[in-house]
Structure 1
Amino acid sequence: MPLFSFEEPKPKLNPPIKNWREDMPESHEPQLVPPQLHWLTTLNDTFLEIPRYSTEVAWGGVLAWAILVFILGIGIGISGFVIQAGHDGYGMIVIGLFGAFIFFAMMSSGLKMYFVQPRDQPLRLNRKRQKIYIYEFKHTFFPWLKWPVTIRSYNWADVHGEIRYSSARYDSGYQLFGSVCEPGTNKVVTRFLIAKERSSREQLCQIWSYLCVYMQHDKVTAEPANPGRPDDWRPRKADQWPAEMERESTTAPEHAVTQK
């Protein structure tokens, strides 16, 4: 029997997240790292809101791509008329117009992403209700359809923290996920992204620590590591929460207010 034995750390949740690196301390336990946020939107005694910026999207590139496909769409449309000249029928004109329509749809989708899609899809943690609310904006290829906003909410006690490493070409780095489990178990029901960090997972540990300390009703500092908002994430449409979820996520339960 060897004098020393080292066991590789293993994920405790089932199923484990792909490319797992580390499990965070449980949300009710003492946190081992100093709490620190990257960004902060709102902090008060009832709720905390933090942004989740889309770092995998180069917003200037989205706008440039939309302009490029607009120019290509015009070129394809004109080409159909030029090629059709001197020939019977309207086949090339129809093809050119159809191609132009596809490119204009791509252009409209890119412009809508740039000017309408929220850059920071926030998380809200309500410590009076002990719940977390996840704001999500879904975009599709069809710019003429309304792109929906959905709000998911979970009991904070059922959320566990996990860090994974993504090797995707345009989205590489460490990622902190909240994994929602069935109450009292390690069986994962769903997961949601909390934050990303390209080179170091230490900052992700600090973010998780901050969320847990806040939800434990302990004092946290209001100053994030990066105050304000980067210019790269402007312009954007203001986040619009459904009225019912806006009220629930920012207020205490009625019985808590009465007891006060």
Structure 2
Amino acid sequence: NNWCEDLPENHEPQLVPPQLRWLTERNDIYLEVPRYRIEVMWGGMIFLVVIFTFIIFFLAFYSIAIAHYFFVITAFLTSIVILCLVFFALKTYFIEPRSLPIRLNRKRQKLYVYNYKQPWQPWRKAITRISVYNWADIHGEVHFESTPGIRGYHLYGALCEPGTHQVVERFVLAKEWGEREQLNQIWSYLCMYMQHDDELPPPRNAGTADFWQPRKADAWPEAMERESTSSS
């Protein structure tokens, strides 16, 4: 990745007007902001299901018509692989969380980052992990990612050793394909909220972008849900 700029410290006055693209929840205790995954073609998952299903039916009918032992075995094994891909695509579309939210608790001055990792085997249970950081130790950076699939501007939270600029860990706070300025506005919003500034504008987009999901996919572990949304 390519570093673009360091953003103002989170305790300093923010010079860029604050603006979020999406907002899930904001109250006097915590702020929840979704990190929608721009690297996943959600509609493409359903398209793959249709294509793969057609291939399976084609192989089945062709196997019956040919009735050749070698071809039947090959078609059967191929169908098993394709069925796994179909299952993976359906699971991605209907079950995986599209929003990987962050929560900022300004009473505790903590940042909570929701992480979700799906093993490459589609039948295995995904791993959910909540990372917790002291807000005072987080610094904002903008990078440009040129890797295919995740190409675009990324707002990183850089965790530093307390009182230093020695980076221990970096994690993504937001992504944009082309609007780098939006990331500066998001950082300003997060910082101003944690500074107890309530004169903040509404998000650019009303509602949520994952309204079509059949369930709330980004369910937090009970202990983290309670801690991240309470003042004590």
- Residue 133 of structure 1 contacts residue 151 of structure 1 at CA under 8 Å; is this kept in 2? yes
Structure number with larger C-alpha Rg: 1
Q: Within 5 Å, which residues of 2 pair with 1:92-131?
A: 92-131=71-110
Name the CA distance, whole Å, in 2 between partners of 1:152 and 1:174. 22
Name the CA distance, whole Å, in 2 between partners of 1:236 and 1:191. 32
- Taking structure 1 as reference, are residues 190 and 107 closer, same or farther at Cα in structure 2, changes over 3 Å only? same
Which one-letter code corresponds to 1:235 in the other structure?
Q
Name the CA distance, whole Å, in 2 between partners of 1:168 and 1:92. 39
Task: Give the unaligned 5+ runs of structure 1.
Answer: 1-17, 254-260
Which one-letter code corresponds to 2:224 in the other structure?
M
- Residue 35 of structure 1 contacts residue 220 of structure 1 at CA under 8 Å; is this kept in 2? no
SS at match of 2:114: strand
SS at match of 1:105: helix
Structure 1 partner of 2:202: 223
Structure 2 partner of 1:76: 59
**Alpha-carbon displacement from aligned partner over 1:120-176 (angstroms, at most 9, x marks no partner):** 110000011111111122123322221222111111111111001122344332111
Compute the displacement of 1:69 (Å). 1.6
Which one-letter code corresponds to 2:14 in the other structure?
Q
Structure 1 partner of 2:45: 62
Name the CA distance, whole Å, in 2 between partners of 1:30 and 1:45. 20
- Taking structure 1 as reference, are residues 158 and 96 closer, same or farther at Cα in structure 2, changes over 3 Å only? same
1:165 and 2:148 equivalent?
no
- Residue 66 of structure 1 contacts residue 110 of structure 1 at CA under 8 Å; is this kept in 2? yes
Task: Give the unaligned 5+ runs of structure 2.
Answer: none
Name the CA distance, whole Å, in 1 between partners of 2:104 and 2:227. 11
Question: Which TM-score applies when normalising by structure 1?
Answer: 0.82
Residue correspondences, number? 231
Q: Give the percent of matched residue pairs that are identical in Structure 1 and Structure 2.
A: 47
Name the CA distance, whole Å, in 2 between partners of 1:46 and 1:23. 28
Q: Within 5 Å, which residues of 2 pair with 1:27-42?
A: 27-42=10-25
Structure 2 partner of 1:252: 231
- Residue 52 of structure 1 contacts residue 121 of structure 1 at CA under 8 Å; is this kept in 2? yes
Structure 2 partner of 1:49: 32
Name the CA distance, whole Å, in 2 between partners of 1:126 and 1:145. 32
Name the CA distance, whole Å, in 1 between partners of 2:214 and 2:199. 29
Structure 1 partner of 2:8: 25
Name the CA distance, whole Å, in 1 between partners of 2:166 and 2:61. 58
Select between 42-51 and 67-76 the one with higher mean Cα deviation: 67-76
Name the CA distance, whole Å, in 2 between partners of 1:220 and 1:136. 30
- Residue 119 of structure 2 contacts residue 125 of structure 2 at CA under 8 Å; is this kept in 1? no
Name the CA distance, whole Å, in 1 between partners of 2:60 and 2:168. 49
SS at match of 1:178: strand
Which one-letter code corresponds to 2:87 in the other structure?
S
Structure 2 partner of 1:235: 213
Compute the displacement of 1:55 (Å). 1.6
SS at match of 2:59: helix
Select between 119-128 and 164-173 the one with higher mean Cα deviation: 164-173
Select between 138-147 and 54-63 the one with higher mean Cα deviation: 138-147
- Residue 132 of structure 1 contacts residue 155 of structure 1 at CA under 8 Å; is this kept in 2? yes
